[in-house]
Amino acid sequence: MTAILAMLAGAGIGAGVAIVLYILGFGIELINCACQIITCDCNGGDAIPAMWEGGSFMSVLLFCTIAGAVIGLIYGIYKMKVASDEEARRRAAADSEEAKKQRIKWAGEVKQKALSVANTCEKNAKDYKALISPNYKADSQMDTIMKELANAAELKGKVDAMANDTKTKGGASK
């Protein structure tokens, strides 16, 4: 749409330029004619009626209108390209801003979930009671072992005493 409007505007400008050029040329020819009259050079080849007939005006008008329309079309295409690039740049900036907001939102959600998991783990760690004690209770275990060894030594001592008793009384067979 912009290219068509620019083409029509260019055609109008071209037609206006043709009229201005025609008027300017007519003025120059009048000055040339006046100079020829002043200098008495009446044999000049530029006679006003022959030079500025209606056919030549139409040719100049048509040429300038077509040239203006082509220039206007090229300018319109250029303006459309600039507007399209600007719109793409604006859309990319908006998309980039929207993507940034989405990334920030997702990061906040991930952070919240990580905090929730960390709080749950911390709570579970406080409430956790191990079924098996990780501490080695050496004192009580050593006491039990010492008592058993003492009982075993005491029994061995009794057995040895009984064996010695039996040897001295002669109850043992040789």
56 in any annotated domain: yes
Q: What is the pLDDT of residue 133?
A: 60
| Residue 122 lies inside a defined structural domain of this protein | no
Q: How confident is the model at residue 85 (pLDDT cuts 50, 70, 90)?
A: very high
Report if pTM > 0.75: no
Mean pLDDT, residues 151-162 taken together = 83
* Max mean pLDDT range (18-22, 47-51, 126-130): 18-22
CA distances from 69 to 56, 74, 92 (A): 20, 9, 34
Q: Is the pLDDT of residue 107 over 60?
A: yes
- For residues 70-84, average pLDDT: 82
User: What pLDDT was estimated at residue 31?
Assistant: 78
Residue 137 counted as domain residue: no
* Between 3 and 112, the higher pLDDT residue: 112
Tokens of 112: 């919240």
Axis crossing angle, helix 54-127 with helix 2-38, rounded to the nearest 10? 150
In a domain, 77, yes or no: yes
- Band of the pLDDT at 99, cuts 50, 70, 90? confident
137 pLDDT higher than 60: yes
Please determine, for residue 94, whether its predicted confidence score (pLDDT) is greater than 80.
Answer: yes
Residue 76 lies inside a defined structural domain of this protein: yes
Parent domain of 10: 2-92
Average pLDDT, the chain: 76
* pLDDT for 48: 53
Predicted confidence (pLDDT) at residue 154 exceeds the cutoff of 80: yes
For residue 139, which phi and psi values (nearest 5 degrees)?
A: -60, -50
Number of structural domains (the chain) is 1
| Residues ≥6 apart with Cβ < 8 Å to 150 | none
Q: What is the C-alpha separation between 110 and 139, in angstroms, rounded?
A: 50
